Amino acid sequence: MRAKATFTLLALLVAACGGSADTTSTTEAAAATTTTAPAPQTTTAAAATTTTTTEAQTTTTVAAEEGARFVLSTVVLGDGAMVVITNIGSESGNLGGYALCQRPSYFTLSDFEVPAGQSVAISLGGDTFDPPDGALVIEEVARISALSPDSGEVGLYSISSFSTSDAILGYVEWGSSGHGRSSVAVGAGIWETGGFVETTAETTTLTADLLPPAESGDWSAS
């Protein structure tokens, strides 16, 4: 009986000292990682810009000469017949004594001061007179006969010596060549033999695209 009790006590002691080892459950918390997605790349399309350029008719002027230099720059035909003279020189000048010619008609201009770079318009006796914007106006009528769109000429002279090439400063003929003062202009080097500006019955205006004009190709008709 004592032996059985001793055995039972020993069993209890062994159980108390040799119990199963504690099991440690370790949970590793994963480090919280925050990933920031790159901002979406934005492509901005430049707004398409459409530029419309309207080319206006322009007149090119060579370098201004010393003193005053008068040239023909516009001739209006038909009912609104008119001549525009431009001073392309570097100084003011007076048109007194200058003359317009369409053979056999001539007209001598009165005193009229024209600043450098300025244009002046003079009526040729048409039914209407519509000077260009900015142009000065000579208050007299230069009657050198009608300027027909079909054919004609205008010459600008420094003096009333109409057969002298040294006196002619500007010239234009249209519709055909060989008008009364064409050869004088050719001799002065301001026109070409056989040259003329092509026109139609609807043509109203001859405009010098180059100042001073020296040949038919320097003029345009509209």
* Local structure of 74: helix, strand or coil: strand
CA distances from 145 to 1, 26, 42, 121, 205 (A): 168, 121, 74, 17, 17
- Across the chain, mean pLDDT equals 81
Query: Any idea which residue has 């142009």 for tokens?
Result: 135
Asked whether 172 and 197 are in contact (CB, 8 A), the reply is yes
Q: CA 154, 79, 111 angle in degrees (round to 5)?
A: 50
Instruction: Look at residue 69 and tell me whether its pLDDT is greater than 90.
Output: yes
Instruction: With cut-offs at 50, 70 and 90, classify the pLDDT of residue 127.
Output: confident
* Local structure of 119: helix, strand or coil: strand
- Average pLDDT over every residue of 103-113: 96
- Average pLDDT over every residue of 58-63: 62
Tokens of 17: 């000292």
Name the nearest CA neighbour of 88 among 220, 208, 218: 208
pLDDT greater at residue 50 or residue 104: 104
* Local structure of 167: helix, strand or coil: coil
Instruction: Look at residue 51 and tell me whether its pLDDT is greater than 60.
Output: no
- For the chain, list the domains and their CATH numbers: 60-221 (2.60.40.1260)
- Average pLDDT over every residue of 26-31: 39
Whether the model pTM is above 0.75:
no
- Average pLDDT over every residue of 7-18: 42
pLDDT greater at residue 60 or residue 94: 94
Share of the chain above pLDDT 90, in %: 68
For 166-194, write each residue's pLDDT tens digit. Answer: 999 999 999 999 999 999 999 999 999 99
